[in-house]
């Protein structure tokens, strides 16, 4: 027994002086990018690393604006790949330009009180961008001179200084390293949303994005007007204090919708400041009317935004999407909850006394919400009891360790749930998944078309009731158990229909889930193109014995997500490659499927904006106008050509 637990001498790894390495600043960033920018990604998610790089550069220009040095920032992204950012601030001090963009823990924010309410004080931002870019340039324009430093993957390759007639300021150019950010490209909708958030929080700032002007004159009031896709019930209430700004209204919709910011940083998962807003807005309105209303009735239909400034804020993870600070200052002092609460108690109460027409509209909305809740209270109670008895962990839901162990921080941000249909598809994903962070929820057949139905159906329909319980979103997104909700269906007509039905469900009852960027579509390959891999005699000699013993040949394989990719793969692997057309998720072996939901997972984020005309789209495509849709299909029918005979329809 003792011998079985002793390590074998031959299997021990040598550990000596050669194993001790010192990494330069740039090497360390490249070796451990997750420590500095969170996830890498390809740009298909608004949380992917390329947008963190962009933000780190723009943050420095925003700091110049806050110092009253430069009211215009120019952002240009060439072919969605290469970024240039020019501000008209003071310019990086030229004598320290190299250090400012290549040495960690070097910056101009440490000794200045003006920067104490900045998001990042660790001098990492532009250095991480430099290290993670194949090409990086920093130009500093000051008093008729420009110093230009050029780097490749963090290594300085050029440093010049010359005269210039350009205005003072800084220009940063970078091209993310494609070997790290595989198949990346910048999505315009994510970039525009990022830039608009800057202008909402910095009135008077103009950002030019690829020649288009972005600005805001009314701050968070403009944000709500741009985000809302339902009619407001009363004019937006917009209030400002020294380190706080709030805006809110009620809309003709269910649920709650919040947008929160800390020192200019968007916090999509909220945090202590958003929780304080929810608590105190409900309490203040309740006390104003002296009614024993439920907080959920008060906030139902509310659309709100809050922005605060905190000294040296603490976040729950590296990507800074949820505030963890309990106090407004690092050494204590007033709490975030009390600061927000005192402001709301005073300012909102005063506003409501001065605006009786708005208070009347608020009271009417709350009364309607209360009636609706009471009308389905019995149904909701029975549904919750059924959800508990359903024993989700052994039937519909196969959970992940992150939530079984109640993990937080970066691990929780990596968590996701696949919503899939059918035993074969859910079985493939379950066998292939990372049990640490990936959960699976199995649908039974097609879900109900819930367009036009009341929320009562969420409790009466077993599928919707169990999914709501699995996601833990009955009382809002604060309890959301997974950062990504991924609809995983076959790439056929039935699969597309299930996608539409699930998106309709979320839009109808939980629109904030989509608006906050939590909903994705899993992209799975349509084709596998492969042929026997050619090997050199040396490779054959080294591996031949092993391969013969395994009894199988080695293939070079390319997975294709479109006909265009299939054609390119055939050209690359000619002659006579074997082509397989995947008909469904369940037909892909678990070993093979593992590659599609791992590091190289392809996700398409479901986005929503005011210009999408969601109400009209849902009414047309999911409403009861069946004959109209049938005629549309007939008028636009395209017969698909037969696929080539050589396809192995596996």
Q: Is residue 220 part of a domain?
A: no
Q: What is the CATH number of the domain that holds 141?
A: 3.30.565.10
Question: Taking every pair of C-alpha atoms in the chain, what is the biggest distance, in angstroms?
Answer: 88
The predicted structure's pLDDT at residue 517: 87
How many domains does the chain divide into? 4
pTM (predicted TM-score): 0.77
Q: Are 91 and 169 in contact (CB under 8 A)?
A: yes
C-alpha 173/C-alpha 85 separation (Å) is 6
The pair of structure tokens assigned to 423 is 């035993």
Pseudo-torsion of CA 609, 611, 616, 620, nearest 10°?
-80
Instruction: Classify 200 as helix, strand or coil.
Output: helix
Tell me the pairing of strands 82-87 and 72-78.
antiparallel
The predicted structure's pLDDT at residue 413: 79
**Do 66 and 195 have their domain in common?**
yes
**Do 171 and 53 have their domain in common?**
yes
Q: Is residue 430 part of a domain?
A: yes
**Do 495 and 385 have their domain in common?**
yes
What is the block-wise mean pLDDT of the chain (650 residues), using blocks of 10 residues?
Answer: 41 56 67 77 87 91 88 95 95 91 66 56 72 95 95 94 94 94 91 94 94 95 90 95 95 88 88 95 96 93 94 78 86 90 97 96 94 82 72 70 62 86 81 90 87 85 88 84 91 86 90 88 89 56 46 71 90 85 81 83 83 75 80 72 42
Pick the closest to residue 42 from 6, 80, 68, 14 (CA basis). 80
Q: Is residue 382 part of a domain?
A: yes
Which contacts of 493-500 are long-range, i.e. CB under 8 A and separated by 24 or more positions? 494/446, 495/421, 495/584, 497/446, 498/421, 498/443, 498/446, 498/447, 500/621, 500/622
Q: Are 585 and 526 in contact (CB under 8 A)?
A: no
**Do 416 and 559 have their domain in common?**
no
Q: Is residue 189 part of a domain?
A: yes
**Do 90 and 164 have their domain in common?**
yes
| Complete DSSP assignment for 515-568 | HTT-EEEEE--SEEEEEEPP--HHHHHHHHHHHHHHT---EEEEEESSHHHHHH
Beta strands in 554-642 (DSSP E): 555-560, 578-581, 602-605
Instruction: Classify 23 as helix, strand or coil.
Output: coil
**Do 390 and 369 have their domain in common?**
no
C-alpha 82/C-alpha 136 separation (Å) is 10
The predicted structure's pLDDT at residue 241: 93
Which contacts of 375-379 are long-range, i.e. CB under 8 A and separated by 24 or more positions? 375/456, 376/454, 376/455, 376/456, 376/459, 379/456, 379/459, 379/460
Q: What is the CATH number of the domain that holds 489?
A: 3.40.50.670
C-alpha 285/C-alpha 304 separation (Å) is 14
Domain boundary among 343, 375, 407: 375
**Do 356 and 391 have their domain in common?**
no
Tell me the pairing of strands 257-262 and 302-308.
parallel
**Do 119 and 241 have their domain in common?**
no
Q: Is residue 12 part of a domain?
A: no
Q: Is residue 58 part of a domain?
A: yes
Range of the domain at 92: 26-215
Beta carbons within 10 angstroms of residue 241's beta carbon: 15
Domain boundary among 320, 349, 375: 375
Domain boundary among 193, 215, 237: 215
**Do 205 and 103 have their domain in common?**
yes
Pick the closest to residue 168 from 139, 142, 138, 137 (CA basis). 142
Q: What is the CATH number of the domain that holds 235?
A: 3.30.230.10
C-alpha 423/C-alpha 425 separation (Å) is 6
**Do 495 and 560 have their domain in common?**
no
Q: Is residue 197 part of a domain?
A: yes
**Do 381 and 371 have their domain in common?**
no
C-alpha 61/C-alpha 204 separation (Å) is 14
The predicted structure's pLDDT at residue 262: 92
The predicted structure's pLDDT at residue 545: 47
The predicted structure's pLDDT at residue 547: 45
The predicted structure's pLDDT at residue 288: 96
Instruction: Classify 475 as helix, strand or coil.
Output: coil
**Do 209 and 106 have their domain in common?**
yes
C-alpha 322/C-alpha 462 separation (Å) is 32
Q: Is residue 541 part of a domain?
A: yes
The predicted structure's pLDDT at residue 299: 94
């Amino acid at each position: 027994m003792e011998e079985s637990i002793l390590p074998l001498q031959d299997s021990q790894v040598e550990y000596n002086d050669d194993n001790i390495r010192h990494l330069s600043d740039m090497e360390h960033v490249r070796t451990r990018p997750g420590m500095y920018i969170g996830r890498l990604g390809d740009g298909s998610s608004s949380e992917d690393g390329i947008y963190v790089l962009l933000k780190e550069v723009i943050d420095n220009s925003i700091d110049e604006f806050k110092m009253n040095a430069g009211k215009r920032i120019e952002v240009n992204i060439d072919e969605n790949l290469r970024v240039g950012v020019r501000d008209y601030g003071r310019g990086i001090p030229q004598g320290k330009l190299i250090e400012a963009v290549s040495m960690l823990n070097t910056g101009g924010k440490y000794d200045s009180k003006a920067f104490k309410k900045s998001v990042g004080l660790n001098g990492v931002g532009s250095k991480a961008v430099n290290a993670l870019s194949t090409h990086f340039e920093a130009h500093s324009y000051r008093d008729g001179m420009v110093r230009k430093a050029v780097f490749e993957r963090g290594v300085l390759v050029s440093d010049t200084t010359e005269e210039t007639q350009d205005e003072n300021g800084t220009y940063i150019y970078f091209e993310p390293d494609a070997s790290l950010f595989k198949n990346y490209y910048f999505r315009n909708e994510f970039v525009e949303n990022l830039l608009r958030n800057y202008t909402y929080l910095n009135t008077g700032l103009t950002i030019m994005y690829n020649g288009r002007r972005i600005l805001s004159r009314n701050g968070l009031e403009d944000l709500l007007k741009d985000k809302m896709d339902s009619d407001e019930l009363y004019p937006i209430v917009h209030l400002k204090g020294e380190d706080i700004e709030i805006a809110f209204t009620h809309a003709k919709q269910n649920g709650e919708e919040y947008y929160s910011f800390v020192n200019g940083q968007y916090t999509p998962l909220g945090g202590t400041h958003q929780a304080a807003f929810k608590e105190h807005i409900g309490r203040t309105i309740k006390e104003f009317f002296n009614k024993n209303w439920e907080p959920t009735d008060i906030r139902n239909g509310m659309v709100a935004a809050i922005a605060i400034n905190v000294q040296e804020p603490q976040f729950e993870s590296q990507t800074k999407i949820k505030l963890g600070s309990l106090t407004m200052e690092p050494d204590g002092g007033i709490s975030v909850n009390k600061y927000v609460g005192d402001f709301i108690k005073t300012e909102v109460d005063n506003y409501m006394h001065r605006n009786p027409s708005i208070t009347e509209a608020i009271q009417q909305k709350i009364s309607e919400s209360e009636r609706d809740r009471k009308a389905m209270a019995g149904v909701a109670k029975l549904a919750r009891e059924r959800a508990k008895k359903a024993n989700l962990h052994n039937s519909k839901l196969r959970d992940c360790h992150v939530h079984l162990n109640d993990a937080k921080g970066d691990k929780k941000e990596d968590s996701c749930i696949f919503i899939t249909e059918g035993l074969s598809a859910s079985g493939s994903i379950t066998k292939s998944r990372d049990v640490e962070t990936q959960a699976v929820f199995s649908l039974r057949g097609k879900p109900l078309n819930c367009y036009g139905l009341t929320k009562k159906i969420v409790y009466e329909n077993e599928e919707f009731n169990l999914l709501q319980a699995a996601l833990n979103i009955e009382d809002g997104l604060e309890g959301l158990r997974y950062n990504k909700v991924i609809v995983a269906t076959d790439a056929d007509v039935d699969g597309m229909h299930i996608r539409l039905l699930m998106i309709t469900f979320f839009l109808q009852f939980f629109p904030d889930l989509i608006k906050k960027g939590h909903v994705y579509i899993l992209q799975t390959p349509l084709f596998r193109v492969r042929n026997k891999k050619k090997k050199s005699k040396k490779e054959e000699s080294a591996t031949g014995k092993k391969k013969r013993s395994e009894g199988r040949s080695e293939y070079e394989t390319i997975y294709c997500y479109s006909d265009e990719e299939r054609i390119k793969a055939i050209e690359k692997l000619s002659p006579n490659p074997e082509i397989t057309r995947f008909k469904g998720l369940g037909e892909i072996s678990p070993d093979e499927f593992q590659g599609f939901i791992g590091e190289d997972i392809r996700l398409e984020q479901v986005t929503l904006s005011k210009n999408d005309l969601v109400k009209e789209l849902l009414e047309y495509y999911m409403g009861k106008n069946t004959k109209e849709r049938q005629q549309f299909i007939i008028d636009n029918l395209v017969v698909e050509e037969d696929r080539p005979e050589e396809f192995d329809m596996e």
